[in-house]
Amino acid sequence: MKKVLKGTPALSALGFKKQLLALAVCVSIGAGLAGMAEAAPARNINPPALKAGAPQVYVVKKGDTLWDISKRFLKNPVRWPEIWASNKHVKNPHWIFPGDRLLMCTYNGQPIIGKDEGDGCEGIIRRYAGGTKLQPQVRIESLNNAIPVIPLEYIKQWLERSMVIAPDALQGTPYILGTADQRVLAAKGQTVYARGGGMEVGQRYAVYREGEPYMFMDAAGKKFNAGLELTQVASGVAVRGENDITTLELTSTYNGEVRRGDRVLPEYDPMLPTLFYPTSAENITAGGSIVRVLGSIGTAAAHSVVTIDRGTLHGVQTGHVFSVNQKGETVTDPKTKERIQLPGQRIGSVMVFKAFDNLSYAYVLDSELPIKVGAGIQPPLLDE
């Protein structure tokens, strides 16, 4: 599989610490803006097309996702922001909760959908148009109850514990040398030894497992490493240091046990978001594709997590939605015996929830067929 990507600059060990902090800030701010701000209307080719049989009234249920609700109303659910009648007087007008009653109304000849506050479509349109404010009401609702775009349990591991870094960012960083009881593997409650300078007693550290690098071909046909995947397997506290050997007590383990050679890096709270807002991915460098199915050696389906070969350097932001297109089969023409490739077809949608320089993690919103590595991605067509 040949891909042409821009290379990633080298980072020192100190630079890697700064990169961790920058990554935490950028991911948090980027996703926060995608989730908290009013989404700008998408480039309008035609008004969004309603799905046949779209309900006039829908009561939000526990377990719903915003994407599923959007699919009930629209042929192209990514265009939901164009018909959502947000209440401009509410701090977070896009949040909806189980029990909310959604009404389909008509404003200036176009459909809009909003939350019924007891005064029906008349009130929805008035507030949407900037009219009378709602009377003060008391509503105590946990943010955790807000209807998400995607169920967080499907992405939690990669949202919180995985990242893609520059290929040489680990040079000079500490690594696990061995365990106190000479075991090959270590887990929560056990003691391990890390070798490398710069570690401080009392500091919390994260232990990371190196994954397979993302290898691509440049324009000259030469292989290069576009990024290295790290998965956090443990957390610990430095309790003692002697020369370049630091003793760590493991306080938590995730996704596996600690092994010799695992990397040790300062642990930071990334303050990642829990709410996302889908937006159409426009002005992205063309030609992207699915390059890895995370947590699986097979194909992806709805609720899977994949890596795409487009990142912030290509214009990707958290919340961007892409259509997934499977290449058509190559067949032999029965008359001419020529080998002909049949047209491809759209088979699903993915939404980016974590973006890096050259790569991004994306959640499979829906799929009609199994999604294979190599499937193409493109911004969704806005003709519906």
134-157 pLDDT, tens digit each: 444 444 444 456 777 778 888 988
269-299 pLDDT, tens digit each: 766 666 677 888 888 998 999 999 998 878 9
What is the C-alpha separation between 144 and 136, in angstroms, rounded? Answer: 23
pTM of the model: 0.79
Residue 10 has pLDDT above 50, yes or no: no
Cβ neighbors of 114 (< 8 A, separation 6 or more) are 84, 85, 86, 87, 102, 103, 105, 121, 124, 125, 127, 128
Region 339-344: mean pLDDT is 90
DSSP element (H, E) containing 216: strand 214-217
**In which band, very low, low, confident or very high, does the pLDDT at 34 lie, cut at 50, 70 and 90?**
very low
Instruction: Identify the structural domains of the chain with CATH numbers, from first to last.
Output: 13-33+155-266 (no CATH), 48-85+98-140 (no CATH), 279-378 (2.40.10.410)
What is the C-alpha separation between 307 and 326, in angstroms, rounded? Answer: 16
Residue 44 has pLDDT above 60, yes or no: no
Q: How far is CA 153 from CA 150, 157, 274, 295, 367, in A?
A: 9, 8, 10, 14, 19
Please write down the HEC assignment for all residues of 36-97: HCCCCCCCCCCCCCECCCCCCEEECCCCCCHHHHHHHHECCHHHHHHHECCCCCCCCCCCCC
CB 224, CB 248: distance < 8 Å: no
The amino acid at 350: V
What is the C-alpha separation between 171 and 364, in angstroms, rounded? Answer: 34
